[in-house]
Chains A and B, each alone.
Chain A
Amino acid sequence: MGGFVTLFQQAVAFGTIIMFGAVGEIITEKSGNLNLGVPGIMYLGGISSLLGAFFYENSTDNPIPIVCVLIAAVCAFLASALGGLIFSFLTITLRANQNVTGLTLTIFGSGVANFFGGSLNQLSGGVGQLRVPATSDAFRAQLPGLSNIGGDIGKLFFQYGWLAYVAILVAILAQVYLSRTRTGLNLRAVGENPATADAAGANVTLYKYLATCIGAGISGLGGLYYVMDFTQGKWANDGTIESLGWLAVALVIFTTWRPKNAIWGSYLFGLLYWVYMYIVGISRASQELFKMLPYVVTIVVLIIISLRKKRENQPPEALGLPYFREDR
Chain B
Amino acid sequence: MAAAVSHKKDPLIRIARRDSMPLWKSVLVRVIAVIASLLVAGIIIYLLTGASPLNVYKSMLQGAFGNNSANYSQKTWQTIRDTMMLLCIAVGLAPAFKMKFWNIGAEGQVLVGGIVTAACMIYFKDLPPVLLFIVMFLGSLLAGALWGLLPAVFKSKWNTNETLFTLMMNYVALQLTSFCVAKWENPVGSNKVGIINQGVENQQGWFPAIFGQDYLLNVILVMAVTVGMFFYLKYSKQGYEISVIGDSQNTARYAGINVNKVIIRTMLISGAVCGMAGFITVAGSSHTISTSTAGGKGFTAIIVAWLAKFNTFTMILIALLITVLDKGAIQVATEFNISKDMSNMITGIILFFIIGSEFFINYRLIFRKKEKEAA
Query: Out of A96, A118, A253, which one reaches B341, CB within 8 Å?
Result: A118
Determine if B251 is an interface residue (Cβ-Cβ < 8 Å): no
Determine if A310 is an interface residue (Cβ-Cβ < 8 Å): no
Q: Are A326 and B17 in contact (CB under 8 A)?
A: yes
Residues of B close to A96: CB separation below 8 A = 355-356, 358-359
Q: Are B362 and A95 in contact (CB under 8 A)?
A: yes
A267-326 CB contacts (< 8 Å) to partner B: 283-289, 291-292, 295-296, 298-299, 302-303, 306-307, 315, 320, 326
Q: Roughly how many angstroms separate A135 CA and B129 CA in the complex, as a whole number?
A: 60
B320-351 interface bits toward A, Cβ cutoff 8 Å, 1 = contact, 0 = none: 00000000000000000111111111111101
B275-331 CB contacts (< 8 Å) to partner A: 296, 299-300, 302-303, 306-307
Chain B nearest CB, measured from A123 CB (Å): 11
Q: Are A302 and B165 in contact (CB under 8 A)?
A: yes
Residues of A close to B168: CB separation below 8 A = 250, 295, 298-299, 302
Q: Are A288 and B175 in contact (CB under 8 A)?
A: yes
Beyond A95-B359, A299-B168, is A108–B163 a contact (Cβ under 8 Å)?
Answer: no
Query: Out of A103, A105, A246, A253, which one reaches B302, CB within 8 Å?
Result: A103
Q: Are A119 and B338 in contact (CB under 8 A)?
A: yes
Q: Roughly how many angstroms separate A66 CA and B114 CA in the complex, as a whole number?
A: 50
Q: Roughly how many angstroms separate A86 CA and B47 CA in the complex, as a whole number?
A: 21
Interface of A is mostly: helix
Determine if A143 is an interface residue (Cβ-Cβ < 8 Å): no
Query: Out of B161, B343, B349, B359, which one reaches A306, CB within 8 Å?
Result: B161
Residues of B close to A249: CB separation below 8 A = 164, 167
Residues of A close to B342: CB separation below 8 A = 111, 115
Residues of B close to A299: CB separation below 8 A = 165, 168-169, 172
Among B164, B169, B296, max chain A CB count under 10 A is at: B164
Determine if A261 is an interface residue (Cβ-Cβ < 8 Å): no
Q: Are A97 and B306 in contact (CB under 8 A)?
A: yes
Chain A nearest CB, measured from B331 CB (Å): 15
Binding site for A on B (CB under 8 A): 15-17, 48, 102, 104, 154, 158-161, 163-165, 167-172, 174-176, 178-183, 296, 299-300, 302-303, 306-307, 337-349, 351-352, 355-356, 358-359, 362-363
9 contacts between A and B (CB under 8 A): A94-B358, A100-B355, A107-B299, A119-B339, A122-B337, A122-B339, A253-B164, A288-B179, A289-B176
Binding site for B on A (CB under 8 A): 34, 36, 86, 90, 94-97, 99-101, 103-119, 122, 237, 243, 246-247, 249-250, 253, 283-289, 291-292, 295-296, 298-299, 302-303, 306-307, 315, 320, 326-327
Those 4 A-B pairs whose CB atoms lie nearest each other, nearest first = A108-B348, A111-B344, A118-B339, A111-B345
20 other A-B residue contacts (CB within 8 Å) besides A119-B48, A288-B179: A90-B355, A94-B358, A95-B363, A97-B355, A99-B163, A101-B355, A104-B303, A107-B351, A108-B348, A112-B345, A114-B339, A118-B339, A122-B337, A122-B339, A243-B171, A250-B167, A288-B181, A289-B175, A291-B178, A302-B160
